[in-house]
Structure formats: C-alpha cells, structure tokens
C-alpha cells in the first residue's frame, strides 16, 4: 500500500537513485519526465559537497534529465546558506573542493588559505581529494584560534570508480580528533536542513512532498525527521536483506526496487 495521493513535490537523492556513478538508472528519466508532465515539482538533493550545482545540472542533462540550477541542492550550498543566515559574512578556510569554495564565495564569504587561514572565522569541511597534512594543520590552528567548525555531510565513505573512497566524514573526524572540537553542525542528511531548503523552494507543505533515497541512515532518517513521505529504492546502497530490523525513523513509508517503478504509482 502506498499513499502518494496529493503529493506535488518530489525530492530525489542522486547517486544510487537517479544514477550510479556515471551510469543512469534505467527508467529514471521517464519517471522524472512523467512527474513534470503531471505538474509535479522536482528537487535533487545530494550530500555530495564536492561538485557544484552547475556540474550536477550538466551531468543530469547528459543523461537526458533536464533541470534548472535552483532544482539542485547540495550540502556545500547548505553550509553557505547556514553561515550566511547566522553570521552574515566572514573569512572561511575550506577543506573541500571547487564546488564548495564556489558556494561560499557566492554567499559573499572570503575564502582564505595559509597563514590567513589560521585566522579564519569559519572552517568549512567537506570531502577533499586534495586533503593534506598542511590543510589539517591550518584547520586545527584556526579552530584552536576560535573559528567555528562547520561540516558539510557525515558520510565517511562513498562508492568510487575503483572501490570505496573516503568521504567528508573522514576529514571531519581527522579535524575533530586533532582539535578535540566537534563540528557546530553537520548540514547534510540526516539533518533535515537541506530538506527544509528544498520544500521551502518548492512552495509546498511537507505533507505534499515525497523524498526518494537509497540510504537508510541519511535519506530515510532525514526525510522521516522532517515528516516527508519517504521512499526507499533498492538500486543503491541498501539491499532487501537490510530491511529486517529497521526501527522507528529508519523505516521508509514505501520500498521500491527502482525509481522507475514510481512512474506507475503517480
Ligand atoms: Mg545516494
């Protein structure tokens, strides 16, 4: 049984739901086209803090899925919005990649490095494939000097092209271990903050929105905490055998083999 009646907005996780790495999930494009045809609103919401929203728009476009930049929400954008809303402006040292730096600059933050980094107001941490001892040193000193430590997303690893790759959570843990300070906030799912940005942006109420994800600990827990209708798909990290013993906020409202199956339910 499902209750998708009255749902007008759909929030999709990307990796494991719409595509896996560079390969689109069969039928994802058709489901998304169908949602638009029936007048539904769409948001793509990813904990991935490395890539820019532009990059995601282009990547989806290359798979035949058209979307606008305001339909993509990333954890790095979430960090920039959080800092802007609470603190207005300041100097930021970033452990993260170009997409992350770009979001902070767009919100008016000055991104600093080296000795200046040690005096930053904020240390923003996401996944960084160029993570070094030097970056960790600057971040450590900045935090010890009183910088606010903000983290993009909690994922400790992610599927890579040749196996598992370390993700933001591993860099966050390194800074936490060195400094003895925990991040003030971890913006990405399961924190409902990105869902809040998405629902607000669509101009809908929570009970009009469903979210589709492949991870229990981020997508489903985060969606349930924000009272969205949560749909788990089995094309990504979670397999049917993992569903036994799920409790409370870990339980999706609906389980589908693939996002392709959503089309027939709308
Ligand atoms: Mg995913």
The DSSP line for 206-228 is: GGGEEEEES-IIIIIHHHHHTT-
Give a yes or no: residue 52 inside a domain.
no
Say yes or no: 166 and 180 in one domain. yes
Same domain, 95 and 180: yes
Cα distance between residue 168 and residue 79, in whole Å: 13
Domain hosting residue 234, numbered range: 9-47+189-265
pTM of the model: 0.91
Confidence of residue 174 (pLDDT cuts 50, 70, 90): very high
Last residue within a domain, chosen from 186, 202, 223: 186
Q: Is 13 a known active-site residue?
A: yes
Q: How far is the CA of 215 from the centre of ligand 1 (A)?
A: 6
Q: Cis omega before residue 122 (within 30°)?
A: no
pLDDT tens string 32-44: 999 999 999 999 9
Residue 166: C-alpha distances to residues 75, 150, 171, 233 (Å) = 17, 18, 8, 24
Residue 174, domain member (yes or no): yes
Q: What is the DSSP string of 187-200?
A: -STTSTHHHHHHHH
Q: What is the pLDDT of residues 209-237, one digit of tens each?
A: 999 999 999 999 999 999 999 999 999 98
Q: Is residue 255 part of a domain?
A: yes
86-100: per-residue pLDDT in tens? 999 999 999 999 999
**For residue 183, is pLDDT > 70?**
yes
Please identify, among 186, 207, 228, the residue that sits at the C-terminal boundary of a domain: 186
Say how many Å lie between the CA of residue 214 and the centre of ligand 1.
5
Q: 84: CA distance to ligand 1 center in Å?
A: 27
> Per the residue annotation, which of 13, 128, 155, 214 is the catalytic one?
13
The question of whether 155 is a catalytic residue gets the answer no
176 domain-assigned = yes
Domain boundary among 164, 186, 208: 186
Instruction: Provide the mean pLDDT of the chain.
Output: 95
Q: How many domains does the chain have?
A: 2
Using the mean position of ligand 1's atoms as its centre, give its distance from the Cα of residue 213 in Å: 6
Q: What backbone phi and psi angles, to 5 degrees, belong to 158?
A: -150, 155
Query: How many angstroms does the Cα of residue 2 sit away from the middle of ligand 1?
Result: 22
- Note whether 129 and 219 are same-domain residues: no
For position 243, which CATH number holds?
3.40.50.1000
């Amino acid at each position: 049984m499902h209750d998708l009646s009255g749902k007008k907005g759909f929030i999709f996780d990307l990796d494991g739901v719409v595509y896996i790495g560079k390969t689109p999930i069969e039928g994802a494009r058709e489901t998304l086209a169908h949602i638009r045809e029936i007048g539904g609103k769409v948001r793509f919401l990813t904990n991935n803090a490395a890539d820019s929203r532009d990059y995601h728009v282009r990547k989806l476009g290359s798979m035949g899925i058209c979307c606008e930049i305001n339909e993509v929400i990333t954890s790095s954008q979430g960090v920039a919005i959080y800092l802007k809303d609470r603190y207005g402006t300041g100097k930021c040292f970033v452990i993260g990649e170009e997409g992350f730096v770009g979001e902070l600059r767009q919100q008016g933050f000055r991104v600093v490095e080296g000795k200046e980094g040690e005096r930053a107001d904020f240390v923003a941490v996401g996944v960084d494939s160029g993570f070094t001892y030097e970056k960790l040193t600057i971040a450590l000193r900045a935090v010890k000097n009183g910088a606010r430590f903000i983290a993009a997303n909690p994922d400790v690893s992610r599927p890579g092209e040749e196996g598992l790759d370390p993700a933001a959570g591993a860099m966050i843990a390194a800074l936490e271990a060195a400094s003895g300070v925990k991040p003030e906030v971890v913006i990405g799912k399961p924190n409902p903050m990105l869902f809040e940005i998405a629902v607000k942006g669509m101009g809908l109420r929570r009970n009009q929105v469903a979210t589709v994800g492949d991870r229990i600990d981020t997508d489903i827990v985060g969606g349930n905490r924000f009272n969205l209708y949560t749909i788990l798909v089995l094309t990504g990290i979670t397999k049917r055998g993992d569903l036994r013993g799920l409790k409370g906020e870990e339980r999706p409202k609906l389980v589908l083999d693939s996002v392709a199956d959503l089309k027939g339910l709308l």
